[in-house]
Homo-oligomer: A and B are copies of this chain.
Amino acid sequence: MAEEVKLFGARGSPFSCRVEIALNIKGVQYEFVEEDLFNKSPLLLKYNPVHKKIPVLLHNGKPIAESAVIIEYIDETWEGAPILPEDPYERAMARFWTKFIDEKCMAAAWKACWSKDEQDKAMEEASELLRALENELKDKKFFGGDRIGLVDIAADFIGFWLRLIQEITGAKLLTKEKFPKLCDWIDEFLSCNAVKESLPPRELLLAFLQARVFPSSAPSISPSK
Q: Do residues A72 and B50 form an inter-chain contact, with CB atoms below 8 A?
A: no
Per DSSP, chain A at the interface is helix
Q: In the complex, what residue of chain B is closest to A48 when comparing beta carbons?
A: B96
Distance from A68 Cβ to chain B, minimum over Cβ atoms (Å): 8
Question: Do A99 and B69 contact each other (CB < 8 Å), given the known contacts A88-B76, A91-B76?
Answer: yes
User: Interface residues of A toward B: which range?
Assistant: 20 to 34
Most buried by B among A72, A73, A92: A92
Residue A70 interfacial (CB < 8 Å): yes
Q: Do residues A72 and B92 form an inter-chain contact, with CB atoms below 8 A?
A: yes
Interface residues of A in 63-95 (CB under 8 A from B): 64-66, 68-70, 72-73, 76-77, 88-89, 91-93, 95
Q: In the complex, what residue of chain B is closest to A50 when comparing beta carbons?
A: B132
Give which listed residue, B69, B70, B96, B132, contacts A69 with CB less than 8 A.
B96
- Expressed in whole angstroms, the Cα–Cα distance for A95 and B95 within the complex equals 12
Q: List 12 A-B contacts (CB under 8 A).
A: A59-B89, A62-B89, A64-B92, A66-B96, A66-B99, A69-B92, A69-B95, A69-B96, A69-B99, A70-B92, A73-B89, A73-B92
